[in-house]
Amino acid sequence: MTIEQSGTHPVQPAPVAVQPAVQPAKDWFASAVVYQVYPRSFADSNGDGIGDLQGIIGKLDYLKKLGVDVLWLSPIYTSPQDDNGYDISNYQDIDPIFGSLADLQELTEGLHARGMKLVMDLVVNHTSDEHPWFVQSRSSKDNPKRDWYWWRPARPGTAPGTPGAEPNNWGSAFSGPAWDYDEATGEYYLHLFSKKQPDLNWENPEVRAAVYEMMNWWLDRGVDGFRMDVINFISKDTALPDGVKAEGKLYGDGSPHYMSGPRIHEFLHEMHQAVFAHRTGPLLTVGEMPGVTVEDAVLFTDPAREEVNMVFQFEHVGLDHGEGSKWRPRKLRLTDLKASLARWQDGLAERGWNSLYWGNHDQARAVSRFGDDSPEYRELSAKMLAGILHLHRGTPYVYQGEELGMTNMSFGAISDYRDIEVLNHHREATTHLGHTDAEVLAALAPLNRDNARTPVQWDATRHGGFTTGSPWIAVNPNANHINAAAQVDDPDSVYSFYRKVIELRHADPVISHGGFTMLLPQDEHVYSYLRTLPEIEMLVLGNFSATEHTVDVGDNTWSKAEQILGNYPHDASLTLRPWELKVFRRLR
């Protein structure tokens, strides 16, 4: 789940050097790789067109061969599916479209038997409006669960239920106001996302206790941790003041009043104490945190503070957003990307830990966005992107299909889309903002979330081998040549290259433990950095263009070092061919 950001850090110049961490990372996840499964689009076992748990179970050997250590499972809880499962109506059961608790237990045991861990998505900023907690909360002002959510009367001097009567001017991430009027009780409830996703009131200790009890229940069943959806939204300024309304916007920006709010560190530490502190064994907690700063991330991920292991930040995936919106995309400058990622490497070098990702279920396909998805360069750029990302310091995340070089989808009409964010924006833009259908569709194409949600392409058969039925969203037509069956046994495939990169992270301590130094920060074509330990150093070079570039890193002897990874036949030079990756390693 994502939300448009404002007030995030401007990109700063890339530091020339980052010193090695004072103490080597000791946690198991320093050398681990996480694989995200978006269940409804992964593999369908029963022909209903929706991926399910048995479909995932049937692909565990595929994941084992890839070499990943953790499977992060997007929501599979009981849900009306207004936001594809991020609207939960029962935290302790499985939605029948995905399977059953027994299926999940089989999946958990299958992962553990193969040496992998299971991380569940945790969505506790909000629930579904069909969750029993909210059903009770909205039943009357006197219900004991009324204060489990954010209820407020209409703005003074206005008629309840009319436009402008909302308690404040905040907009929802999915278009429209962030408040919905409940006629039965005459008050509004807050929903930062869909109106079917009312926000929980974490100021109420009963809410927090119920969430912690639920989390413990899952860990007791063998789950190995949680990815926490928009977790830095759970603490809000209780005054709920109006946000600044920018020119041309329909609503105010409420994010300064709920992003990393006044009690967020208190809540996350309390969660750690109630859920994780008494447990032994390797567990993983990662907080999705839109708008988080490097300075805040140090606090969130400092092990001594006992909050979360790492955060998902969004700075680098906002660099191609024009005028503060992903619906106004602009060309990404490589110098901006390097400046951003280097600043995060620097900021978390001594305390805390980075997550590393190009894509997920909320982002466009990596090779289409950061690489070149043309037939000539798709495979080369997909491999280069894998090497550049995974050799940073942090824990890499692979989104399903990324290891195959899957690309963005071409959607011809608004009826081809399924994402609520897209559908609501299209309606608002064409109805209230005066844009034509063609204008909105063109703006939606590059960065819409459905690009990542088309089904995994398993083979060249009908629907890419995803289902024997009709898929819930169309399969990309290029499945006839971009698919797993064509790659798993091909030593030169994108899949096989990901295997090599993952094996390298597992084997080489300079990747998991070493310091980071950004090189050539002003080069608009070449991404270059050093990873160092006292006895070892590694040079990573990536060409983000379709033209050849000779690299000067101030040390020509690197061309004589051992090249341990590349996406072209090795040659003893510092010249990079189009979309080439070269990785050298030597003793110091």
563-577 pLDDT per residue, tens: 999 999 999 899 999
Task: Return the bridge partners of 73, or none.
Answer: 37, 120
Report CA-CA distances (Å) from 306 to 274, 276, 277, 298, 482: 11, 9, 8, 12, 43
Q: What is the secondary structure of 148-215 as a DSSP string?
A: GB-EEPPPTTS-TTSTT-SSS-BBPTTSSBSEEEETTTTEEEE-SS-TTSPBB-TTSHHHHHHHHHHH
Please tell me the number of Cα atoms within 13 Å of 113 on its side-chain side: 9
> Is the domain of 466 the same as that of 576?
no
Report the CATH number at residue 561: 2.60.40.1180
Residue at 381 is within a domain: yes
Q: Say if residues 510 and 420 touch (Cβ distance below 8 Å).
A: no
Can you tell me the mean pLDDT for 85-103? 97
Q: Copy the structure tokens of residue 257.
A: 């009043």
Instruction: Tell me the pLDDT tens digit for each residue of 319-336.
Output: 999 887 888 889 999 999
- The number of angstroms, rounded, from the C-alpha of 211 to the middle of its chain's C-alpha atoms is 22
Q: Say if residues 466 and 51 touch (Cβ distance below 8 Å).
A: yes
Nearest to 385 by CA among 375, 373, 395: 373
Residue at 223 is within a domain: yes
Residue at 425 is within a domain: no
Backbone angles phi, psi at 64, to 5 degrees: -60, -40
> Is the domain of 477 the same as that of 537?
no
- Please confirm, yes or no, whether 229 is among the known catalytic residues: yes
Residue at 44 is within a domain: yes
Residue at 432 is within a domain: no
Instruction: Tell me the pLDDT tens digit for each residue of 338-364.
Output: 999 999 999 999 999 999 999 999 899
State the first-to-last Cα distance of the chain, in angstroms, to the nearest integer: 44
Average pLDDT taken over every residue of the chain:
93
Burial class (CB in 10 A: 0-12, 13-18, 19+), 514: buried
Nearest to 354 by CA among 120, 125, 512: 512
pLDDT at 187: 98
> Is the domain of 117 the same as that of 234?
yes
DSSP structure class, residue 71: E
**Number of structural domains found in the chain:** 2
- Please confirm, yes or no, whether 350 is among the known catalytic residues: no
Can you tell me the mean pLDDT for 228-255? 96
> Is the domain of 485 the same as that of 522?
no
Compute the distance between CA of residue 282 and CA of residue 232 in angstroms, rounded to an integer: 23
Please tell me the number of Cα atoms within 13 Å of 482 on its side-chain side: 24
| Residue carrying the six token digits 């597992």 | 506
pTM of the model as a whole: 0.92
Asked whether the predicted pLDDT for residue 24 surpasses 50, the reply is no
Report the CATH number at residue 58: 3.20.20.80
Residue at 236 is within a domain: yes
Compute the distance between CA of residue 75 and CA of residue 84 in angstroms, rounded to an integer: 8
377 in the Ramachandran plot: left (φ > 0), alpha (ψ -120 to 50) or beta?
A: alpha
Residue at 193 is within a domain: no
pLDDT at 576: 98
Nearest to 326 by CA among 1, 573, 2, 76: 2
Domain that holds residue 553: 514-587
pLDDT at 572: 87
Can you tell me the mean pLDDT for 385-393? 98
- Band of residue 508 on the pLDDT scale cut at 50, 70, 90: very high
Q: What is the secondary structure of 255-288 as a DSSP string?
A: GGGTSS-TTHHHHHHHHIIIIITT--S--EEEEE
Compute the distance between CA of residue 227 and CA of residue 100 in angstroms, rounded to an integer: 21
> Is the domain of 329 the same as that of 466?
yes
pLDDT at 9: 37
pLDDT at 432: 85
Q: Which of 87, 180, 187, 288 is catalytic?
A: 288
Can you tell me the mean pLDDT for 174-194? 96
Report CA-CA distances (Å) from 271 to 93, 213, 233, 278: 22, 10, 15, 12
Residue at 504 is within a domain: no
Task: Count CB-CB contacts under 10 A for residue 426.
Answer: 20
Please tell me the number of Cα atoms within 13 Å of 434 on its side-chain side: 3
> Is the domain of 221 the same as that of 348?
yes
> Is the domain of 408 the same as that of 317?
yes
Q: Which of 229, 372, 402, 537 is catalytic?
A: 229
> Is the domain of 405 the same as that of 519?
no
Can you tell me the mean pLDDT for 401-409? 97
Asked whether the predicted pLDDT for residue 18 surpasses 70, the reply is no
- Band of residue 174 on the pLDDT scale cut at 50, 70, 90: confident
Instruction: Tell me the pLDDT tens digit for each residue of 57-84.
Output: 999 999 999 999 999 999 999 999 998 8
285 in the Ramachandran plot: left (φ > 0), alpha (ψ -120 to 50) or beta?
A: beta
Compute the distance between CA of residue 367 and CA of residue 380 in angstroms, rounded to an integer: 10
pLDDT at 182: 98
pLDDT at 1: 55
CA angle 477, 480, 482 (to 5 degrees): 90
Long-range contacts of 379-382 (CB under 8 A, 24+ apart): 379/405, 379/493, 379/494, 379/567, 380/567, 380/568, 380/578, 380/579, 380/580, 381/579, 382/494, 382/497
Can you tell me the mean pLDDT for 115-121? 98
> Is the domain of 487 the same as that of 541?
no
Compute the distance between CA of residue 270 and CA of residue 286 in angstroms, rounded to an integer: 16
> Is the domain of 537 the same as that of 483?
no
pLDDT at 14: 39
pLDDT at 125: 98
Q: Say if residues 156 and 113 touch (Cβ distance below 8 Å).
A: no
Asked whether the predicted pLDDT for residue 143 surpasses 60, the reply is yes
Nearest to 113 by CA among 53, 73, 57, 75: 57
- Band of residue 428 on the pLDDT scale cut at 50, 70, 90: confident
Compute the distance between CA of residue 370 and CA of residue 365 in angstroms, rounded to an integer: 8
**CA 416, 421, 422, 424 torsion-angle sign:** positive
> Is the domain of 471 the same as that of 543?
no
From edge to edge, which strands make up the β-sheet containing 395-399? 310-312, 284-288, 225-228, 117-122, 70-73, 34-37, 395-399, 355-356
> Is the domain of 287 the same as that of 336?
yes
Compute the distance between CA of residue 562 and CA of residue 191 in angstroms, rounded to an integer: 55
Task: Decide which of 466, 494, 522 is a domain's last residue.
Answer: 494
